[in-house]
Structure 1
Amino acid sequence: MIIKNIAIIGAGVMGQGVSYQFAKYNYNITLIDIADSALENARKNIRNIERLDKMLHKSTSNVNVLDKITFTSDLSTLSTADFIIENITENITLKETLYQKIKAHIADHALLAVNTSAVSITRLASFLKHPQNVMGIHFMNPVHLKPTVEVIKGYHTTSETIDATQELLQAVNMTGVVVNDMPGFISNRVLMLTVNEAVFALQDGVAGAADIDKIFRECFGHKMGPLETADLIGLDTILYTLHVLLSSYNDTKFRPAPLLTKMVDAGLHGRKSGEGFYKYN
């Protein structure tokens, strides 16, 4: 399958990162969001990602990334896409509403990837006309610095869809690890337990946030500790994912720490809000 045109739905942090990564490798990108302010913010942030990537990480791409990206709120532009990546909030109701709107615009040959860390690919695929063309890709943040992703195979996902997805990822210097569709897949099924237990340890006064993270960095060689990771991901996202896992598995091991819920209620969402377990300028 030849893929030239990629549509990305959702212009938040992940949508910006995914847009940059594929545009850098000369794909035609359509970035779609319902809010003009989100699109304008995405334009500014993608320009900054490109500047820093070239300055700090020595990107050798000679592509002017913004020349490859069309910013729009028009869902009908999906009709020209060979590959669609959906990045909206991880809320099954919101996603179902979106899929009901977009299914009439998606070309029969187009593949759709759900950029998700927990939501069922099989369930989302059932909302579309061609569930065999749907798979999950769990990108990590920041996308251009995290070259390995989970590729999630739903119940109806064909091997042809997985193969085409793997070829596309390889074309942008990324690697996909194929996993089956279970809530949380591998990364978040394990990571959320670790983060949540670290919050419980902080809540119980076993150690402070800095010392908890230091143990993971210096004893286990992790680049970031669990609470630093939570701030990067977003505490609101962590909490929502835990709720999804708790509901999906009906297992109390996924119950969110009360401190995590309190912090989210207080608007302490991590780096994106300026404060989480740490403060950011």
Structure 2
Amino acid sequence: MTQPLRTVGVVGAGSIGATVCVDFVVHGFRVVVVDVSETALAETRELLREVNRFLPAVRPGLTRLGKQEAQDRLVTSTELAALAECEFVVENVSEKWEVKRDLYRELDRILPEGVGIGVNTSSIPIGRLAAETGRAGVIVGIHFMNPSYLKDAVEVMRGDDTSDKCLDHVQELLSLLGKQAVVVGDFPGFVSNRISHLFFNEAIRVVQDQGVEPAVVDDIFKKCFGHTMGPLETADLIGLETVLLTLENLRESYGDDRYHGCALLREMVASGRLGRKSGQGFYHYHGTSSVAITAGV
């Protein structure tokens, strides 16, 4: 008799959440994804179709799923109650504290005892969210990079109360996705974002103050340092509003003005130029292609 697929939940089908869903599905899981936006849920299904279509090229060693099989493995809902059947839940909602706080209180009510939550956060400490629940031992940070299905490692943030059992479970899940868990402690921004967002902000400041073209900034880091993407391309991929929110959280946490988002970043977010998700950031986007915008933005 065929064993049922293991089921994980994902809350938030935005730019990173959608790729986390796809990652789990193509690696043999059933995924229940919850989002308030029917459009985001439909876009997640479309992303799964596209990635599955080219799966052997995207992830060598994986076998393309049948179209119906792939779609059957992804369950979409606008109701958090749909997560009650999951063995583990990954949360990917906005970096706004009030949004996360209210969600964790609700997840604590809905999820069965012992079901863990992976906090896919850019800057909010794991312990602060765990304190909003009665299950601090099974709250752990899992910082998936975008797009998740192309990445071979994940930054895992262990809170002060995160249990050995929870950490072992997360490392086992990640190993089934072909990923290495790089475990760090629990402090605002962790290792990756505490460093990377200073990098993004300074790259934007170079465009703002010196008028350097975005493509030139990115080429320096791709061609001279071997980065796959430059800082401005990466910021566009993440979403400029998320970059700004993360900087604000870090500035508040550390009381350090180094994390003050520069004027150009704030102007772009205020005008809705958020990067890939809006079709325009430091580059213009048409489907999956991009055309550089001049430094005048």
TM-score by length of 2: 0.89
Q: Which residue of structure 2 lines up, in the alignment, with residue 142 of structure 1?
A: 147
Residue 25 of structure 1: which of 24, 27, 35 is its match?
27
Residue 10 of structure 1: which of 2, 9, 12 is its match?
12
1:230 aligns with 2:230: no
Q: Deviations over 1:210-231 (max 9, x none)?
A: 2211211122111221111111
1:272 aligns with 2:277: yes
Residue 262 of structure 1: which of 267, 286, 291 is its match?
267
1:191 aligns with 2:196: yes
CA contact (8 A) 1:79 1:105 kept: yes
For residues 88-107 of structure 1, the aligned pairs below 5 Å read 88-107=93-112
Fraction of identical pairs, as percent: 38
* Matches of 1:79 and 1:104, distance apart in 2: 10
* Matches of 2:113 and 2:218, distance apart in 1: 47
**Equivalent residue letter for 2:267:** K
**Equivalent residue letter for 1:110:** V
* Structure 1 range deviating more: 224-233 or 139-148: 224-233
Deviation at 1:58, TM superposition (A): 4.6
* Structure 1 range deviating more: 54-63 or 256-265: 54-63
Q: Which residue of structure 2 lines up, in the alignment, with residue 151 of structure 1?
A: 156
Deviation at 1:127, TM superposition (A): 1.2
**Equivalent residue letter for 1:223:** T
* Matches of 1:171 and 1:182, distance apart in 2: 27
Q: Which residue of structure 2 lines up, in the alignment, with residue 169 of structure 1?
A: 174
CA contact (8 A) 1:22 1:29 kept: yes
Q: Which residue of structure 2 lines up, in the alignment, with residue 53 of structure 1?
A: 55
Deviation at 1:262, TM superposition (A): 0.6
CA root-mean-square deviation: 1.6
Residue 85 of structure 1: which of 90, 95, 99 is its match?
90
**Equivalent residue letter for 2:276:** R
**Equivalent residue letter for 1:42:** T
* Matches of 2:37 and 2:239, distance apart in 1: 21
Measured at CA, do residues 51 and 208 of structure 1 come closer, stay the same or move farther in structure 2, by a change above 3 Å? same
Deviation at 1:19, TM superposition (A): 1.0
**Equivalent residue letter for 2:102:** T
1:251 aligns with 2:253: no
SS class of match (1:70): strand
CA contact (8 A) 1:122 1:181 kept: yes
1:117 aligns with 2:122: yes
* Structure 1 range deviating more: 201-210 or 156-165: 201-210
* Matches of 1:53 and 1:126, distance apart in 2: 40
Deviation at 1:129, TM superposition (A): 1.3
TM-score by length of 1: 0.94
CA contact (8 A) 1:111 1:133 kept: yes
Q: Deviations over 1:157-206 (max 9, x none)?
A: 11221111101100111111001111110011110011111111111115
SS class of match (1:136): strand
* Structure 1 range deviating more: 230-239 or 48-57: 48-57
* Matches of 1:34 and 1:203, distance apart in 2: 36
CA contact (8 A) 1:20 1:65 kept: no
* Structure 1 range deviating more: 99-108 or 248-257: 99-108
Deviation at 1:36, TM superposition (A): 2.5
Structure 2 gaps of 5+ residues are 287-297
Deviation at 1:34, TM superposition (A): 2.1
* Matches of 1:84 and 1:162, distance apart in 2: 14
CA contact (8 A) 1:214 1:225 kept: yes
CA contact (8 A) 2:58 2:150 kept: no
Measured at CA, do residues 204 and 112 of structure 1 come closer, stay the same or move farther in structure 2, by a change above 3 Å? same
* Matches of 2:49 and 2:24, distance apart in 1: 14
* Matches of 1:4 and 1:228, distance apart in 2: 35
Q: Deviations over 1:82-110 (max 9, x none)?
A: 11111111111001111222211111121
Residue 65 of structure 1: which of 42, 60, 70 is its match?
70
